[in-house]
């Protein structure tokens, strides 16, 4: 009986527990980091168009110079020894002015040195207001003949001559008088009108080149200390401006 005990013990031993099943855990792949959104480049600024320059209008130019030998030679008819003003006291003046045709041209005058700068200022004002001038040449271009210069509607200054209708020196002989647009602004004494082409302008109405009381021309000369012959009672000299009023 005792010999069988080990066998029985061996046969009754419990079966070993089965091994637990192997569990495979699947790991989800790691999420990729989102790629950064591309940064849009700043918009290209629209270039500012270059403004088209406005064409410059006509510009006034005025000069004052001592008389050159060439000008002195030209003045052989308007100046001579015995005139009340020596040549060295005169100045050659150039100014730009509007013509009756709308063109801008250069004119010339000879005046006394002590009024030259002021006269440039006068014609600067006339240029700015658009006042037209027919012609502005030395009276010598007409042989220093005042009648011929007036008939050509020429604006002029120095001329060593006697006063109109008299024997004393004219203010023109001192270079301190200017006649402006003589046809549009004639000399009137009673029924006498000079130049004759100025007859249609003896009755004063506003027309190109006509000078009227208180207008821009009269005011410009007055600002420089000059007086107008249109204010005289008789004769009336609508073209004439002078420092003394004579």
Cβ pair 177, 170 in contact under 8 A: yes
Cα dihedral 207/208/211/215 (nearest 10): 90
Q: Rounded CA gap, 162 and 170, in Å?
A: 5
Positive or negative: CA dihedral 162, 166, 171, 174: positive
Cβ pair 198, 169 in contact under 8 A: no
Average pLDDT rounded to a whole number, residues 130-143: 99
Quick one: how far is CA 94 from the chain centroid?
17
Q: Rounded CA gap, 50 and 53, in Å?
A: 9
Alpha-carbon Rg of the chain, whole angstroms?
Answer: 51
Domain segments of the chain as ranges: 62-242
Q: What are 179-226's pLDDT values in tens digits? A: 999 999 999 999 999 999 999 999 999 999 999 999 999 999 999 999
Q: Rounded CA gap, 89 and 126, in Å?
A: 26
Q: What are 56-80's pLDDT values in tens digits? A: 789 999 999 999 999 999 999 999 9
- Residue 124, pLDDT > 70, answer yes
**Full-model pTM:** 0.78
159-177 burial: b if 16+ Cβ within 10 Å, else e = bbbeeeeeeeebbbbbbbb
Q: Rounded CA gap, 5 and 122, in Å?
A: 155
Q: Rounded CA gap, 39 and 33, in Å?
A: 17
Q: What are 155-173's pLDDT values in tens digits? A: 999 999 998 878 899 999 9
Question: 97 in helix, strand or coil?
Answer: strand
Question: β-strands 177-179, 240-242: how paired?
Answer: antiparallel
- Residue 22, pLDDT > 80, answer no
pLDDT over 70 for what percent of the chain? 78
Q: Rounded CA gap, 184 and 198, in Å?
A: 6
Q: Rounded CA gap, 9 and 144, in Å?
A: 169
Question: 43 in helix, strand or coil?
Answer: coil
């Amino acid at each position: 009986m005792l010999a069988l005990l080990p066998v029985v013990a061996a046969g009754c031993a419990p079966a070993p527990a089965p091994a637990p099943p192997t569990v495979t855990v699947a790991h989800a792949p790691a999420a990729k980091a989102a790629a950064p959104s591309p940064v849009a480049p700043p918009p290209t600024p629209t270039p500012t168009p270059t403004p088209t320059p406005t064409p410059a209008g006509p510009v006034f130019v005025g000069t004052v110079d001592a008389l050159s030998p060439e000008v002195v030679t030209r003045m052989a008819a308007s100046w001579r020894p015995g005139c009340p003003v020596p040549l060295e006291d005169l100045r050659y003046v150039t100014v730009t002015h509007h013509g009756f045709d709308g063109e801008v041209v250069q004119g010339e005058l000879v005046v006394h040195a002590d009024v030259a700068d002021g006269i440039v200022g006068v014609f600067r004002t006339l240029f700015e207001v658009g006042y037209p001038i027919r012609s502005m040449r030395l009276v010598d271009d007409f042989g220093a003949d005042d009648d011929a210069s007036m008939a050509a509607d020429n604006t002029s200054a120095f001329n060593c001559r006697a006063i109109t209708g008299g024997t004393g020196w004219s203010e023109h002989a001192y270079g301190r008088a200017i006649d402006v647009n003589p046809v549009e602004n004639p000399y009137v004494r009673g029924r006498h009108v000079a130049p004759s082409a100025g007859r249609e302008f003896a009755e004063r109405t506003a027309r190109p080149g006509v000078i009227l009381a208180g207008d821009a021309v009269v005011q410009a000369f007055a600002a420089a200390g000059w007086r107008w012959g249109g204010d005289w009672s008789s004769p009336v000299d609508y073209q004439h401006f002078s420092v003394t009023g004579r």
